[in-house]
Amino acid sequence: MRAVLVHDWLTGMRGGERVLELLCETFPDAPIYTLIHNPEAVSGTINRHPVFPSFLQKIPGIFTRYRLFLPLFPTAAESLPIPPADIVISTSHCVAKGVRVPRGTPHLCYCFTPMRYVWVFAGDYFGSNPMVRAISMPLLRYLRSWDLRSADRVDFFVAISQHIQRRIEACYHRPARVVYPPVNLDFFTPDPHLTREEFDLIVSALVPYKRIDIAIRAYNQLGYPLKIVGTGTEYRQLKKLAASHIEFLGQLSDEEVRNLYRRARFVIFPGEEDFGLVPLEAQACGTPVIAFDRGGVQETVMAGRTGHLFDSQDPRSLATAVEKAAGQEWNPALIRRNAEKFSVNTFLAELARCVTECIASRA
């Protein structure tokens, strides 16, 4: 089967790129089209494919400043010269789903979310400054209009969760099939030789909508040790906010993160996520999760059995959930079994059925 893969940008290895890796393994000869490609920041699995970036690739310093060029993203996506194929698969949270495919070529979009900058978290991305918001409003209107119109170029939407399925229906007025992203169950495993330690853990990008500030304020009050893995624009501000028993570890390897999952008492997840791989990675290691009761965690965390969900995005609500979890006995084997529902084989089988349906719909 001749497949073409389209991805927003290749500047790091996060959840979306892990999904793309699986598609690369499934379609070993497929070319990849993307806005920009930093070979040093992505895996060999991806780099072994022919990668075709847009004109944005030629801008000096683009790999660290690409977000400044958001107004050009739609044009860059539309400029990608997608060749004829049996199937085009876009993995999209921004503009990848808006590529122009050759007439008659089926286009399946594995949608991480409709463009969250314009539909959900505009305030978090553009800030609350009235002047900035006034200046950004024309851009937001343009991006929202383009995002809606370009959704018509997709033949078959696949959502990463029921949460995103509802968002696709609300934003694009289109139905979507749900296929959950997988967790690497062979890598993220419990280690019976390690004992749980008295610290809790956050693994996250340090950006506003992740709401790491809530966790820091809660743990400032609680006094429990908290380790935070990740980097981002909020690093300095969050570090100033944190008491001495809160430790910032920066960016760590997958092996180092797995070691922390296995040793941590709880993994804390204070933001609203479209799906969220971190709670599943933690559960795969037998570790309970304490998460804000919105978004994808409602579909991946069994409240009271594999973790606790707190219902208000504030420090007091999180602190109450932590104290409740601390007084409960947890079953690591049960927690692991819940994660096993989200296997790579299940993901590939369900996505393959969607691909077959998408092709059949254009036959």
Q: Please write the tens of the pLDDT for every residue from 1-25.
A: 899 999 999 998 888 999 999 999 9
Of 237, 191, 188, residue with least CA distance to 212: 237
Mean pLDDT of the chain: 94
Q: What is the DSSP letter of 22?
A: H
Please classify residue 293 by burial: count the beta carbons closer than 10 Å to its beta carbon, then call 0-12 exposed, 13-18 middle and 19+ buried. middle
Per-residue DSSP letters for 267-292?
Answer: EEE-S-BSS-HHHHHHHHTT--EEEE
The per-residue pLDDT for 288 is 98
What φ, ψ does residue 329 adopt, rounded to 5°? -85, 135
Q: Calculate the CA dihedral of residues 276, 181, 164, 283 and round it to 10 degrees.
A: -30
What domains, with CATH codes, occur in the chain? 3-182+343-361 (3.40.50), 200-339 (3.40.50.2000)
Q: What is the DSSP letter of 50?
A: -
The per-residue pLDDT for 139 is 84
Residue 159 contacts residue 168 (beta carbons within 8 Å): yes
pLDDT digits (tens, 9 = 90+) for 143-199: 999 999 999 999 999 999 999 999 999 999 999 999 999 999 999 999 999 999 999
pTM of the shown model: 0.88
Res. 125 pLDDT band, cuts 50 70 90: low
Q: What is the b/e burial string over 42-75, where b = at least 16 CB atoms within 10 angstroms of the residue's CB?
A: beebbbebebbbbebbeeeebbeebeeebebbbe
Q: Measure the CA–CA gap between 309 and 271, rounded to whole angstroms.
A: 11
Residue 117 pLDDT > 80 = no
Written as six digits, the tokens of 180 are 């959950």
Of 204, 195, 282, 280, residue with least CA distance to 238: 204
pLDDT digits (tens, 9 = 90+) for 43-70: 999 999 999 999 999 999 999 899 889 9
Res. 129 pLDDT band, cuts 50 70 90: low
Written as six digits, the tokens of 234 are 């909020």
Which amino acid is present at 35?
L
Distances in Å between the alpha carbon of 181 and those of 45, 136, 348? Answer: 18, 33, 9
Res. 77 pLDDT band, cuts 50 70 90: very high
Q: What is the b/e burial string over 197-211, where b = at least 16 CB atoms within 10 angstroms of the residue's CB?
A: eebbbbbbbbbbebb
Of 271, 277, 267, 272, residue with least CA distance to 307: 267
Q: Measure the CA–CA gap between 83 and 65, rounded to whole angstroms.
A: 29
The per-residue pLDDT for 362 is 77
Q: How many CA within 13 A on the CB side of residue 323?
A: 11
Is the four-CA dihedral 285, 288, 291, 295 of positive or negative sign?
A: positive
Q: Measure the CA–CA gap between 361 and 321, rounded to whole angstroms.
A: 47
Q: Where are the beta strands (DSSP E) in the chain?
A: 3-7, 32-34, 51-53, 87-92, 107-111, 156-159, 177-178, 200-203, 226-229, 246-250, 267-269, 289-292, 307-310
pLDDT digits (tens, 9 = 90+) for 278-327: 999 999 999 999 999 999 999 999 999 999 999 999 999 999 999 999 99
